[in-house]
Amino acid sequence: MEKQKLYKRAIIKEMFFAGPSTLAELSDKTDKSIPFVTKLLNELKDENVIIEDNTSIFAVGRPAQYYSILNDYKYIIAVALDQYITRISIVDMSRSLVRDVAKYELKIDNDPKTLQSLVKIINDYIKECGIPRNKIVGVGIGMPGFVDVKKGINHSFFSFSDNNLEKNLETSIGLKVLIDNDSSLIALAEHKYGAAKGRKNVMVLNIGWGVGLGMIINGAIFRGDRGFAGEFSHLPLFNNDKMCSCGKMGCLETETSLLVITKKAISGIRNGTPTVLKELTLDDLDQSIKKIIDAAINGDKFSVSLISEAGYHIGRGIAILVHLLNPELVLISGRGSRAGKLWITPIQQALNEHCIPKLAEHLEIQISELQYNAELLGAAALVMENYNIIDNRKPGKLSPKKSVTI
């Protein structure tokens, strides 16, 4: 009976990522016989998990029989942390954000009180949304830092104890929790249902308060030996004597992050640089960078120059990736991707100057269509990737009343 349940979960997982699927497709993807998958599908229909859909608009002859998960069968709580802002939304079985993204100011660090604040934010959000906990598959959380997905530990943040961060969060939230590096989740989202779907070798840049990197190599997310691959931000490219957040000097991040762009904008305003920008502050980075990007999109010369300068230096870093990994596609994603095509020209200029032409002649550079929602969608994908191995916990088995173990 337990195996039967796992087989059903495998089918649901496949339909979550693929969308409406035929019997033959599900049989092929789960490596089970058509009669066996037919039996499972009939049971899932009786359990009000899936529905049938006769789709004939593109069919020749007999209409194809498709199966889909009911959108409201289950939900996933998707959480995206950066160094200053926490965002939460709910994803349904059609991979859609079913509520507006909620934003909370939370500067993450290694203070136990910060973790308690995060737990409260998530618990309050779940309570406010009104979805029964037995309808929630789990909570996927993306966060910056050196995240060991096997051990459930973030070595950069919330590392004040030897205890497993995932288990601490599970105990306090009362639901299955999975954590991963933010850039890896952005790459996962792009790989599953973004521009990287079906591609073999893709570099996904997460332009934010740092510049992260998620790598898809040979059609799979590449994490490296210990799971820490992709620290693009910390390529030592500059002799600028600027201290990076990692404690080293001259990293790519020191000239390219959205935080650096904001600081340069504030300095330019103070020095009288002609610009439409005003009233920027480091106390509200979210709004400040939004104003800079909006001004750049609308043609403000100073704002465009800030993004172009950062883009050129990012392009220098991409040139290294091209020489080492020869990707077919570079995707610009994350918070900064809102600047859109403004990134393309300076990045291409750097590639023209620093790349061996033969290596870059077929390289594509695109702006993510998922953009700032990519991390949230990746957090949901993380949960569903593990759906067939997540414990089928009964409501109340985990209690959110217990406090985080510090």
Contact of 307 with 339, CB cutoff 8 Å: yes
Q: Which two three-digit tokens encode residue 306?
A: 């800030």
pLDDT at 56 over 50: no
In single-letter form, the type of residue at position 83 comes to Q
* 333/213 Cα distance (integer angstroms): 10
pLDDT computed for residue 164 by the predictor:
86
Domain 2-69 has CATH 2.40.50.140: no
DSSP symbol at 109: -
Quickly count: other Cβ atoms within 10 Å of residue 226's Cβ: 11
Which is higher by pLDDT, 160 or 33?
33
pLDDT computed for residue 255 by the predictor:
95
pLDDT computed for residue 247 by the predictor:
87
Q: What is the largest CA-CA distance in the chain?
A: 74
Location of each CATH 3.30.420.40 domain in the chain: 75-185+376-385, 195-369
* CATH class, range 75-185+376-385: alpha beta
Percent of the chain with pLDDT over 70: 92
The pTM of this model reads 0.90
Percent of the chain with pLDDT over 90: 78
Q: Which two three-digit tokens encode residue 321?
A: 């990736």
pLDDT at 361 over 60: yes
How sure is the predictor about 406, in pLDDT bands with cuts at 50, 70 and 90? very low
Q: What is the mean pLDDT of residues 24-33?
A: 92
Strands (DSSP E) along 291-404, which ranges? Answer: 329-333, 364-367
* CATH class, range 195-369: alpha beta
* 88/167 Cα distance (integer angstroms): 20
Location of each CATH 1.10.10.10 domain in the chain: 2-69
Partnered with residue 213 across adjacent β-strands are 205
pLDDT computed for residue 158 by the predictor:
87
* 196/377 Cα distance (integer angstroms): 14
Please name the residues in contact with 308: beta carbons below 8 A apart, sequence gap of 6 or more.
342, 345, 346
Question: What is the secondary structure of 307-327 as a DSSP string?
Answer: HHHHHHHHHHHHHHHHHHH--
**How many Cα atoms are found within 13 Å in the side-chain-facing hemisphere of 151?**
13
Quickly count: other Cβ atoms within 10 Å of residue 263's Cβ: 15
Between 45-54, 55-64, 257-266, 336-345, the lowest mean confidence (pLDDT) is in 55-64
Residue (of 105, 135, 174, 87) closest to 396 by Cα position? 174
* 253/246 Cα distance (integer angstroms): 10
pLDDT in tens, 175-225: 999 999 999 999 999 999 999 999 999 999 999 999 999 999 999 999 888
**3 state DSSP class of 293:** helix
